[in-house]
Chain A
């Protein structure tokens, strides 16, 4: 039995979202492992150009659901459209990029299809024709291996960076129209507007050095020691989400999936445990230094250099060592 694998891409205004290409690559790899075919699915309005772009990948076909009602994402319409399409075509696996949009509708889709749901997979292995997925648990400190049980499709969302879009196999795939009864599907929320959450006053993407502050800093009064290190390195202050939520630094300093994505020459993460939502925003940095008192913190897995210790002692010591080095 050959497996049928679907990859549901995400787009906005016809532009394919970056993680979707990684999902396509994952689908190609899974199809190769299982001896099956990978097919893409695209939902939206005015999808001709985007469909053709996806069609330049090595895929069995590209299914396009093109309708005015899908112009703006709503979970009701997207989940119902996919439910109908999946129920008809019966793919064995359906892969999604693990975006905030996907997480918003995917559990409801799994439920209505009585399908298995594997959120946030980072890798897979095929064992005797069955697929075992790895996904982070406990804030990324550990990874769980999970497998679907029982019949029915398996819906999987893939974490950013888990697969490389650079390894995409090119080809030429036929475009097929998904004819669905769009009129029967209704939105379950009324979208009023989509707007920028923050006036982007600080553009961290251009900073050569970023000193990033995490929950481990303890309170706002300790921010100055971080600022002193940033100044000594000629860099900017960044922060992980809990620091922003606590109001210790303004939101335009936030790095991670809901903040900015940065790739500086040097990234110093102090008191940051390294939850995946933070890692996706900074792991492309050239050199990463982690300072954390928990030797098991996942930040040490992506860092190049690590110091296990209390940042309140280590950070001023690094600032002092930098001054010492520049004077000698």
Chain B
């Protein structure tokens, strides 16, 4: 099977965040970047399917120069080659213009399956995979917790998470786009051999013209929403913070739960 995986590189949000100079995003300097969590599970699922079916995994990502590092990592894990959409015309989009660009890059690849994560840990639209499916005219499923391929009948049986502990089990015709929920599998670590091999693997960087896409339909220009500002939640609304070392804070907490909150 030919499998494409779309990954996003996102900032490690455990870090201390600062609003950027123009106020519309965070200052990316000093931040470290990682492959988005659910995209990592999508990549692992793709690698496992490729191993079972003597297939090939091609990894796609849209973003600035730094994204190359995430693609290298995916290549080290076992993807055969990578496609990096880094032209400025691709950047700054919403899920609609981002999905359009990725679908444009995927269209010529003759893939049986496109996997991606269900939601990015930074902007969290949870939409890009569905938009890709729409652009390609393929069926899709969001929040996929189980994948069973039926190669002979060109179908895939998916378990999709619903609210309140319910699952939906359905069949989709291939080719299809599956948006993978974190926790589906156990992502592997890169081997030294994999890291060495990755250095020789191809990362192509097609521009909008190569994909036959009009630049004005892409990125920030093609987006249907604009971000005006980002901000931290209002201070003072939250918890009463209890200071002191662990022992002092613990004693104060117990006292407050007894005397102030009166629940112990």
Chain A residues close to B by CB (< 8 Å):
75-76, 99-101, 103-108, 110-112, 114-120, 132, 135-139, 141-150, 152, 188-198, 200, 233, 241-242, 244-245, 257-261, 265-266, 273, 286-290, 294-296, 298, 300-310, 313-314, 317-318, 320-322, 324-325
Contacts and interface: CB of A to CB of B under 8 A. Distances in A.
Given A103-B127, A104-B142, A146 B163 contact: no
Given A137-B230, A198-B165, 8 more contacts: A111-B130, A116-B224, A188-B139, A189-B141, A189-B172, A194-B162, A244-B183, A305-B239
A112, A200, A318 interface centre (most CB from chain B within 10 Å): A318
Contacts of A141: 13, 17, 232
Contact of B124 (A101, A136, A259, A303): A136
Interface in B120-170: 121-128, 130-131, 133-135, 139-143, 145, 157-158, 160-170
B204 interface: no
Contacts of A303: 238-239
A303 B166 CA distance: 28
Contacts of B139: 76, 188-189
B165 A192 contact: no
A143 B230 contact: yes
A114 B171 CA distance: 28
A146 to B, nearest CB: 5
B233 A145 contact: no
Given A111-B131, A294-B14, A306 B240 contact: yes
Contacts of B229: 144-145
Interface string B1-23: 00000000001011011010000
A107 B127 contact: yes
B263 interface: yes
A125 to B, nearest CB: 11
Contacts of B157: 192
Interface string B203-225: 00000000000000000000111
A226 B249 CA distance: 17
A321 B13 CA distance: 32
Contact of B254 (A107, A143, A322): A322
A80 to B, nearest CB: 12
Contacts of A198: 165
B99 interface: yes
Nearest to A132: B228
B201 interface: no
Contacts of A119: 95, 124-127
Given A107-B130, A139-B13, A190-B170, A304 B230 contact: no
B233 A301 contact: yes
Interface in B223-264: 223-233, 237-242, 246-247, 249-251, 253-258, 261, 263-264
B127 A146 contact: no
Contact of B166 (A76, A146, A196, A317): A196
Contacts of B131: 107-108, 110-111
Contacts of B239: 288, 290, 300-301, 303-306
A192 B170 CA distance: 5
Nearest to B24: A144
Which 3 A-B pairs give the minimum distances between C-beta atoms?
Answer: A245-B183, A306-B239, A317-B250
Contacts of B198: none
Contacts of A135: 124
A287 B225 contact: no
A139 B17 CA distance: 12
A309 B127 contact: no
Interface in B68-126: 94-96, 99, 121-126
B34 interface: no
A138 B121 contact: yes
Given A306-B239, A306-B240, A313-B246, A146 B226 contact: yes
Contacts of B258: 325
Contacts of A99: 163
A194 B166 contact: yes
A314 B242 CA distance: 11
Contact of A300 (B17, B167, B230, B238): B238
Nearest to A75: B140
B59 interface: no
Contact of A287 (B164, B165, B230, B257): B257
Contacts of A294: 14
Contacts of A314: 246, 249-250
Contacts of A244: 183
B17 A194 contact: no
B230 A142 contact: yes
A290 B249 CA distance: 12
Which of B26, B241, B250 gathers most chain A CB within 10 Å? B250
